[in-house]
Structure 1
């Protein structure tokens, strides 16, 4: 939910920053926070010295004798590089942004505090193993050691700018709950179909369900393969790829679907759209066995697609026990989150793993029928709501703000704090001719305390497929597709997470909270979750497509990505012959637009009389459907695509539901393009009835005019990258809208190839423009034959300090599609050593 990061900075920052620069203090303030990567630092609580080796890109490799020392050093290193980002994140997840940014952030705080992310994180601490809890505390000890000797502009340039508008701010000590709370934010971004649920219901206010279904086509299993080709359960309830008859269960799900649709038709129409993540957020991950590689050992690739932020979401790190044993079992390298110990995606000495978003339906909206302010109706009885008061400190004002959070059995009443959600209840009541508005409650798996932190450390330690699956069993939210490979030659796939089993309905629509038939009756058992080891063809591809065919008896979701990326990856692998790390990386850069492959033949059949307009159409002739940054055909096609979506749907759909142009709209257009007289083609603003070819012609003519205005009259000067640009934006001060401040923290624009729902997924929103909204946040290829031959790249750099040499030192490489060598063994790390920082015990502890 993007409003969580919507922060407006007070205009006084502009004057203060200008004065700072004019006064000649700018260079000092900018460089004041740069950390020392060399030398010796005393760190309380160490068992023995710890060494941090960094290469020229500032990527740290940490060596320690004990796990506690390892994670304490990681905390210190993360604080060195990214503390403002960590501090900002914990203010987001605790609903305390207004303490930093004033009243403009209060709406965000109220929503987050109503959801209770931080409260859930604090409850999770008691569920974790003592070992995990100790590691979180060790990490916090390292962070706080850095805070004890750094403050204000010595921590980050952002603090220097913010301090000029008010009293000095000193961060609170870091805690274990601060680390866990960030997992809730990631779960929010990566979990559930709430945005689609709201959009469907909003459309239901205007159209019958059958019309809406045409905008949510079924997954095209005949063209785009699911992750696992066959899926069922044994009599014992264990997932199997062998055929098992499940007809009775399928019938029950169909009946539940009909009940849900019937209820929605009567009760819940008109939900306004919540600002969700859209089609741009996804990921690619795939693994191939040694049968497909030049070395005879597996290769594993991963590139998660996330919002483009400055600094990037990931921080690279190596965590190495000097002598690996049961007492110190970590020898792991990969991508971490600043603020969280361990490695999230990467490899250890025995196995490698990657993630893509499974995106199951783990959120449901419930309409609640109030009985006074403190109770709701449930099964014809009055049930009390639980209540709690939340208090907010606001920068710039003395008095605190307060709200009362109400919760039903389903979850928090989010309509109490959200204008969109409040309107939902009002519209639902209006349709039922009821005088009192309904409340809207959210039930979400991430609001139940869990043990995902245990799972992350267990994955870091795992040495076998069996141990990896045991770790995955603890990975509760967000549900992910896990791909696996090991040095013994095995590959595998596992879907973990808590996915609800519903008594009625399928989670696609809001349901009546007063009817017990719609409660969750449990979660899909881990043993029944999709899994596969060493498939016969030696290939596993996950790109957010359908996980399983319809034979699978449980309902995961109906809102898969439609498989255009995954099928392109599969086709590339099958045609590649023997693969190495470089050829795997080249697949990550694939820009073929399978949507264009479908539409261009129809566009070329349309007669255009004007020679000037035909010049645009002519760029599509003999096009290979790829979208590098310098492609004229890609530039013209994407402008046509945006105009085509606007002409076809904007006149008939509410503005909040206009097409973003991602894979769902590829599939919608694929179906209606074969229906030349579909009602969607008709422009309701005209008296005549338009056909498909009328709209295709108008889209091309409009595109020719638009691209001429934006770029050039001569098609030879058109380039997709000149429209499709990425600006890396700092999540706080970079969104101020104040030129001088934005330039301090933001970088770009960069001209990119690729596009939405392409393998090289540089997404853009067709309802807004051509600017890049989400990207591959990193790319990695792991070579299980020799880890030092693996490759990796980050979107930005490891440093969060503006103007540091490691702030965006990987970005130019990323833009060009290049990667860095990924040193893992001690010899490779030593060969790239440029800095050494040693942590020692304080004198009083020796």
Structure 2
């Protein structure tokens, strides 16, 4: 990849990429842009998409991988841009199964709408896209709330705060807080109905399983509420009744936790980061030095400025941008970037969390490229040298090829549970005959196709070196 000279070459450099399968975007200095869903994606039965399937019957064996030429890709689209925010890229007519779980379109839609009429984009224009905080679900629910009679005086006051709100999840917004509390209550009501005794577990679970299901249900509810579809609601329920109740309950929650002064119910007061160093639990007396600072931010899980939070701990952010970039391929030194903490992982370093406040403000800093600029702007310089009087491993000459290779393929090796695993054994060889004597062994097991080019390449490399 680092040797690629243009967009076509960097696309081709991904041919042997195995994992992770992810969105890969690139551009070159000639103005070409590309998108590739890279990786070895197995071809498998659709039954395996929905539930675990028996792996011992042979009915659901993987049938190779999607050919590299058929992977989802976009090159120089007529629109002049493409958008990826973990949303679905391949259309319904794509001949291969990739996944069932994609992020809703909300974040991608807001980015798309901002780029559609943009011409002559600058670094500043693209940096502003990172700070987009208008929530499409908030707009949908706000319209319904506006025509729903309030249940009590407190609800009426909260409804007045949302009048004319555009769905912007700004950290100074009171409406954003009221909307978020309402949606928490609405989700809990409907998910309790849909999942029954599993609801409590689903709403507090971590990882990717249950939260993924809850996210998909939550997205469906937005569409259903907008269209008046009651198929997911408890029998006999109507959207206006449920929304009125959830709104009243959410506002009551805020009153209990934040007090009676609605002016103080700003989104940034509750929507914050709380990063915790892994060692803080073991050394609580050092937590103040180890834990990076907490910051308030706008956005939520449905906005390009990502700031999602779990149902089990509203509204503490756990899903945010790990980095923001804007690359200027016409002038690399004009590029920008930012990370949530700093460039050092050492808690005692001045650069441990010195980017946090800038990141929280959704601002960017220069991403310097040219060597002259790096040298002139460097704050410190570290030079690594060796002690010439005490050379390190001076006798080590490096590995070199001494043997040929013979391969014994598909040797079925018994496991403790009786399962047999197909195994390829690579032996050092001389003149095509397995070399005598004992050699070190490297064992590698993979759930993927053991014949993909990278596997034999590695095995041959080590076998030739004994």
CA distance in 2, matches of 1:543, 1:677: 27
Q: Find out whether 1:517 has 2:59 as its counterpart.
A: yes
Structure with greater proportional strand content? 1
| Partner residue in 2 for 1:842 | 387
Q: Find out whether 1:713 has 2:260 as its counterpart.
A: yes
CA distance in 2, matches of 1:670, 1:529: 31
Contact 2:85 2:108 in 1 (8 A): yes
Q: 2:117 aligns with which of 575, 579, 586?
A: 575
Q: CA deviation at 1:834?
A: 1.8
- Alpha carbons of 1:586 and 1:598: their partners in 2 closer, same or farther (altered >3 Å)? same
- Normalising by structure 2, what TM-score? 0.77
1:72-83 matched pairs, under 5 angstroms: none
Q: Deviations over 1:514-572 (max 9, x none)?
A: 43111111111111112222112211211111121111111111211121111111110
Aligned-CA RMSD value: 2.2
Q: Find out whether 1:656 has 2:198 as its counterpart.
A: no
1:133-172 matched pairs, under 5 angstroms: none
Task: Point out 4+ residue stretches in structure 1 off by more than 3 angstroms.
Answer: 658-663, 674-677
Contact 2:307 2:317 in 1 (8 A): yes
Q: 2:315 aligns with which of 733, 749, 770?
A: 770
Match of 1:481, SS? strand
CA distance in 1, matches of 2:307, 2:321: 7
1:438-517 matched pairs, under 5 angstroms: 459-503=1-45, 505-517=47-59
CA distance in 1, matches of 2:127, 2:215: 23
1:6-155 matched pairs, under 5 angstroms: none
Q: Deviations over 1:155-194 (max 9, x none)?
A: xxxxxxxxxxxxxxxxxxxxxxxxxxxxxxxxxxxxxxxx
| Partner residue in 2 for 1:668 | 220
Q: Find out whether 1:729 has 2:271 as its counterpart.
A: no
Q: 1:833 aligns with which of 356, 364, 378?
A: 378
Q: CA deviation at 1:575?
A: 3.0
CA distance in 2, matches of 1:513, 1:619: 56
Unaligned runs of 5+ in 1: 1-458, 684-688
| Partner residue in 2 for 1:761 | 306
| Partner residue in 2 for 1:547 | 89
| Partner residue in 2 for 1:265 | none
Contact 1:504 1:517 in 2 (8 A): no
| Partner residue in 1 for 2:99 | 557
CA distance in 1, matches of 2:333, 2:119: 23
CA distance in 2, matches of 1:676, 1:826: 60
Q: CA deviation at 1:739?
A: 4.4
Number of residue pairs the alignment of both structures matches: 381
Unaligned runs of 5+ in 2: 204-209, 395-466
| Partner residue in 2 for 1:526 | 68
| Partner residue in 2 for 1:815 | 360
| Partner residue in 2 for 1:802 | 347
CA distance in 2, matches of 1:756, 1:592: 11
CA distance in 1, matches of 2:337, 2:347: 22
Q: Find out whether 1:785 has 2:314 as its counterpart.
A: no
- Alpha carbons of 1:588 and 1:812: their partners in 2 closer, same or farther (altered >3 Å)? same
1:585-734 matched pairs, under 5 angstroms: 585-653=127-195, 654=198, 655-658=200-203, 664-674=216-226, 678=230, 680-682=232-234, 689-730=236-277, 732-734=278-280
- Alpha carbons of 1:760 and 1:695: their partners in 2 closer, same or farther (altered >3 Å)? same
Q: CA deviation at 1:820?
A: 1.0
CA distance in 2, matches of 1:466, 1:785: 18
CA distance in 2, matches of 1:566, 1:593: 11
Q: CA deviation at 1:609?
A: 4.7
- Alpha carbons of 1:576 and 1:712: their partners in 2 closer, same or farther (altered >3 Å)? farther
Contact 1:663 1:757 in 2 (8 A): no
Contact 2:151 2:245 in 1 (8 A): no
Structure with greater proportional helix content? 1
Looking at both structures, which has the greater relative contact order when contacts are Cα pairs under 8 Å and sequence separation is at least 6? 1
Q: CA deviation at 1:715?
A: 2.2
Q: CA deviation at 1:613?
A: 1.8
Contact 2:337 2:367 in 1 (8 A): yes
Contact 1:734 1:746 in 2 (8 A): yes
Contact 1:663 1:756 in 2 (8 A): no
Q: Deviations over 1:726-781 (max 9, x none)?
A: 01221x21344x74243231123211111112101111112432110121011110
Match of 2:363, SS? coil
- Normalising by structure 1, what TM-score? 0.43
Match of 2:293, SS? strand
Q: CA deviation at 1:713?
A: 1.6
CA distance in 1, matches of 2:373, 2:337: 15
CA distance in 1, matches of 2:226, 2:298: 29
Q: CA deviation at 1:702?
A: 1.0
Q: CA deviation at 1:467?
A: 2.1
